[in-house]
Structure 1
């Protein structure tokens, strides 16, 4: 897909989900932020990342059925625009609690459909001093151990760079000079930050710091991140589709 096709992609997504009444759908990630990567040919190589918020509780979402619906709809999008798509299902209670989560902060401020009636205020980002600033710090450090853990099994250079960028965002947001100076030892910097500010870390951060070299740490942290932010483990939450191979 070419960069000039991005507006057409978003228009098609709005049409594809126009008849959906039991979820709210928006884009997140690099395409949503206008920071997508392109390859040597000029084609976009970033994925399309979507958040699908569904209701929880009695009469709420049937996750397997939601996954089936997303598979059908996103197959058409993936094939039409020749782009890999990642759909992430988020249960509404978890979505509401995860205001400082990275995926929330990077969401495109519009719904392709808003069947849950969440409205534009769902895109309001909480300020870091709202309620307990330590909770905001705990959420906003989450991407650092996530990318560090991911780097143990996949694309170490890329994921370590993402971890450092996440650490710099955290340092800039909260004016954390120790974090800026500790990019070469991010696990140590996280431990110092937690102790210095008396932070109760999220489970994903605590798991990573307890065993950063554990062979299974990437999957353990990944699942914890998804449960924290989406209310579902990654295997239930994610629907990943690549363009069909032409026959």
Structure 2
């Protein structure tokens, strides 16, 4: 998909979900932020990331089926890998500082839950506690560090560093900027100096960064924190079909 096709992609997503009444759907990630990656050919190489918010646990299986059908059409039409995550409404509301919330494009493709435009600016129930925001905003750093242990180390380490720089810029953390080559140490120092109670995902990584299953352990914790679901229940990933 070419960069100039992104507006058309978003228009098609709005049409695709126009008749949906039991979830709210928005884009998140690099395409939503406008900082997606392109390859040497000029085609977009980033995934399309969507978040689908549902009200009840009982809605999850049907939502997965609906998302699978609709995103199959989108993935094939635009020749792009799509990653959809399903979030339970209570977790979505609580995770106001989560990376996927901060990265959301401020427009619903459908808003069956009536969350409205305020959902894009609401930082969560602990908005007045900067240490809570700090704990949430450091979450992507160990996530990508853990992911780098099993998949594409160069790319995921670069993502961890970019997340650390966003964290440093947001909270004016000179020490974090100066210690990008040892991010576990930088995180431990930050937690100790700022009196932060880290999220479970961060604590799991820092307790055992070389554990052979650390990538899965951290990913599962990240999804439970941000989505209220395991990664297996939350994620729907689709690759474009191979042409006949």
Q: TM-score, normalised by structure 2?
A: 0.97
Q: CA deviation at 1:62?
A: 2.4
The aligned counterpart of 2:22 is 22
1:111 aligns with 2:69: no
2:198 is equivalent to residue 171 of structure 1: no
Q: How far apart, CA to CA, are the structure 2 residues paired with 1:119 and 1:126? A: 14
The alpha carbon displacement at 1:73 in A equals 0.5
The SS at the match of 1:76 is: helix
Alignment of 1:1-247 (within 5 A): 1-56=1-56, 61-126=58-123, 130-247=127-244
- Separation in 1, partners of 2:2, 2:219: 31
Report the Cα offset of residue 180 of structure 1.
Answer: 1.2
Question: Unpaired segments of 5 or more residues in structure 2?
Answer: none
Q: Per-residue deviation at 1:126?
A: 3.3
- Per the TM alignment, residue 42 of structure 1 is displaced from its structure 2 partner at its CA by 1.3
Distance in structure 1 (CA, Å) of the matches to 2:39 and 2:74: 20
Distance 1:130 1:70, change over 3 A: closer
Structure 1: runs of 5 or more not aligned: none
Q: Deviations over 1:125-173 (max 9, x none)?
A: 539x942111111000000000000010111111111111111111111
Are residues 61 and 115 of structure 1, via their aligned partners in 2, closer, same or farther at CA, if it must alter by over 3 Å? farther
RMSD: 1.3
State the SS of the aligned residue for 2:163: helix
- Residue pair 1:54, 1:61 contacting (<8 A) in 2 also: no
* 1:105–1:125 Cα contact (<8 Å) kept: no
Aligned length: 243
Structure 1 segments of 4+ aligned residues over 4 angstroms from their partners? none
- Specify the SS of the correspondent of 2:186: helix
TM-score by length of 1: 0.96
**Does the aligned pair in 1 maintain the 2:95–2:123 contact within 8 Å?**
no
